[in-house]
Chains A and B, each alone.
Chain A
């Protein structure tokens, strides 16, 4: 059978992937953990980013709905970016650490900014 262009080599070679050494110890869980990180972690991190950016822009004097709309636009694009990064990043652990840490941090800053604005 004719070999197709080079880029497909990676798609169907599950065996090849299993051979490769991974930074993550539980190889069989690597894919499900990345899928979960991309979808659930990505959603949480984007949500937190939207909260952070909305509160941040509002703190800078932007009208609330302007701040919210602008943050939503960026948040949607960010979600897509996170999904890609969750698979491109070398370490699954790092993906989870960044997404969970980032969500927590962005949320805390958002709440703190809100407290400052309202006080």
Chain B
């Protein structure tokens, strides 16, 4: 079909890159923002702007907070009919479902604590399933008070899931599209290197003064090659994290018998009961178990804080408490879990040393999810992610620059469409993000369902930026440049500055205070990043405006038009 191997790789790189580059742009950009997801949360929820807290006392703080949890209405409406067996009586009313599982999760960057409960469906169709209706909340660990539930943690509940699911939950379609895009990213990197062959030279080649098309290609190669291991690693581990559950769930399909037998063997070996015994039992002091877990970690020379706490089969003789260590001080996402018998507090099991495969897997996923405490490395992650964005964006621009003159002659709209989509997913994505942050500060605090409104504004603004790019793009089909690029750059600068000002006005946290008077780096960092974005967007807008002016002068000269075409 293709004349040679390199041509087939070039075709693959160009067309798959074009088709899925838009998705990859979202993955890389919101992935980069997710490095500081907790910091965006603080910015968006001013009442949670206090110092990170360790896991609070269970007996004093967590137990009453868990007791206040109720099964989520939407979860109940959706899953109760699927789990409950009508042959065994009427479904248990939502508020009468008994809790079966409690969990609490925190990291070294969390002032507030995420907690949740799994409520048991008493008469399920299939006893072997988990049969849980969930109820989650976020609490202030200092008091146990719940943080308002209809607010959105913009960093960890919007930007973060956006980068792996596009926040499109229907049939998990978003997650599948991102998975395919991840595979295509790996393919694009390898095929890109094959296309070029001069990989070493690409490190040092950038000719900004050359023809736009040439500089774009240099920048595309440079940003791709300089961070090549980073791009490859994140695409690979990103797919790997979801591979067993979404993409290749062999253990739930053809190998389910093998998997299920392993579960039974594992439960016997670990001594951690898979099912409830059906015999009521009290809960011993969890605080004592937490202290014992910390003591054992310290004895292994791994002193640390508790990151994750889970109680299984609550109120049952088979109940047990699992305590996991927070991974703040190492790359590998290790739990060093210690499991206690819930009714007595005796240690049932300490996780044995990991096998090499588990160790490798924990290292790879840990390096992707970066729970460790290392601010320099975090910023390098952000830069790597933005380099990925630059690589993808210059790929789009190169595609357009290369074709638009030919398309203009042939009367084709191809370059115009690709260019408009590129505007929408490069500058438009920033406009939507900033629009959401600004809306977060301007919408009244008391507004019911504030988080839902922020999401609607995010999609609305993004859609508008695509429409703007499409409407302003007619000039591309004549071989020119879309003015939407610079107009949206101006919008980015304006929105970013407005967001910083709105934060100051609505919370009183201006940079002088968050940097010097009462340092609070989470908010200062977001504000400073917003201002940096504003400056860069202004510079870009000015460069584009000057170039457009030059182009107008050139095209007025009919002789020069030939050169330009």
What residues make up the interface of A, taking CB atoms closer than 8 Å to B? 1-2, 4, 7-12, 16-17, 20, 22, 24, 30-31, 34, 39, 42-43, 46-47, 50-51, 54-55, 58, 63-66, 68-73, 75-77, 79-80, 83-84, 87-88, 90, 92, 107, 110-111, 114, 117-118
Count of inter-chain pairs, beta carbons less than 8 A: 137
Do the beta carbons of B255 and A11 come within 8 Å of each other?
no
CB-CB under 8 A from B9, the residues of chain A are 84, 87-88
B187 in contact (CB, < 8 A)? yes
Complex Cα–Cα for A46 and B180 (A): 13
The verdict on B214 contacting chain A, using a C-beta distance below 8 Å, is yes
Residues of B within 8 Å of A50, CB to CB, are: 243, 248, 250
Q: Could you tell me the distance in whole angstroms from the C-beta of B213 to the nearest C-beta in chain A?
A: 7
Closest Cβ of chain A to B562, distance in Å, is 10
Tell me if B357 and A64 are in contact (CB < 8 A): no
Is residue B184 within 8 Å, beta carbon to beta carbon, of the partner chain? Answer: yes
| Distance of A47 from chain B, by nearest CB (Å) | 5
Stretch from B50-58, B189-197, B525-533 contacting the other chain: B189-197
Contact with A along B227-260 (1 / 0, CB 8 A): 0000000001001100110011011011101110
Asked if B207 is an interface residue, CB under 8 A from chain A, the answer is: no
Q: In this complex, what residue of A is CB-closest to B406?
A: A12
CB B276 to nearest CB in A, in angstroms, measures: 24
Question: A10–B236 contact, CB under 8 A?
Answer: no
A72: which of B4, B183, B217, B244 is its contact (CB, 8 Å)? B244
Neighbouring B residues of A92 by C-beta, 8 Å: 1
With a cutoff of 8 Å between Cβ atoms, the chain B residues found around residue A31 in the complex are: 1
Given A7-B195, A54-B255: A88 in contact with B187 (beta carbons within 8 A): no
* In contact, B195 and A55 (Cβ under 8 angstroms): no
Q: List, sorted by A's number, 22 A–B pairs whose CB atoms are closer than 8 Å.
A: A1-B565, A7-B195, A7-B196, A8-B10, A17-B2, A30-B1, A31-B1, A47-B247, A51-B255, A63-B355, A76-B186, A76-B236, A76-B239, A77-B186, A77-B236, A83-B12, A84-B12, A84-B190, A87-B8, A110-B254, A114-B254, A117-B258
Write the nearest CB–CB distance from A103 to chain B, whole angstroms: 12
Whether, in the assembled complex, B402 has its beta carbon less than 8 Å from a beta carbon of chain A, the answer is yes
| Interface residue count on the B side (C-beta < 8 Å) | 53
Judging by beta carbons under 8 Å apart, are B10 and A47 in contact?
no
For the complex, would chain A's binding face be called helix, strand, loop or mixed by DSSP majority?
helix
Q: Is there contact, CB below 8 Å, between A55 and B3?
A: no
- A80 and B244 alpha carbons, distance in the complex (Å): 17
Most B CB within 10 A of own CB, among A9, A22, A73: A73
Residues of A within 8 A of B214 (CB): 4
| Chain B residues whose C-beta falls within 8 Å of the C-beta of A107 in the assembled complex | 254
Q: Say yes or no: is B5 at the interface (Cβ < 8 Å to chain A).
A: yes
- Given the complex, which residues of B lie within 8 Å of A47, measured CB to CB? 247-248, 250
**B296–chain A nearest beta-carbon distance, Å:** 24
What sequence of 0s and 1s flags, for each residue 251-291 of chain B, a beta carbon within 8 Å of any chain A beta carbon? Answer: 10111011101100000000000000000000000000000
Minimum C-beta distance from A41 to chain B (A)? 13
A88 touches B8 (CB 8 A): yes
Q: Does B405 contact A (CB under 8 A)?
A: yes
Most chain B C-beta atoms within 10 Å of own C-beta, residue among A2, A51, A68, A110: A68
**B14 on the A face (CB < 8 A):** yes
Given contacts A17-B1, A72-B248, A73-B240, contact A83 B258 (CB under 8 A): no
B12→A118 contact, CB < 8 A: no
Contacts of A1 in B (CB 8 A): 405, 565
Q: How far is the CA of A65 from the CA of B6 in the complex (A)?
A: 39
Q: CB-CB < 8 A to A88: which residues of B? A: 2, 5, 8-9
State whether the Cβ of B295 lies closer than 8 Å to any Cβ in chain A.
no
Contact between B183 and A114, CB atoms less than 8 A apart:
no
User: Which residues from A are CB-within-8-Å of B358?
Assistant: 65-66, 69
Bound-complex Cα distance A64 to B261 (A): 10
Contacts of B180 in A (CB 8 A): 39
Is A2 a contact partner of B211 (Cβ separation < 8 A)?
yes
State the Cβ distance, A10 to closest chain B Cβ, in Å.
3
Residues of A close to B257: CB separation below 8 A: 114, 118
Asked if B186 and A10 make an inter-chain contact with CB atoms under 8 angstroms apart, the answer reads: no
Docked CA distance A39–B214 (Å): 32
Q: How far is the CA of A34 from the CA of B12 in the complex (A)?
A: 10
Q: Is the CB of A87 within 8 A of B11?
A: yes
A69 proximity list for chain B (CB < 8 A): 244, 357-358, 361
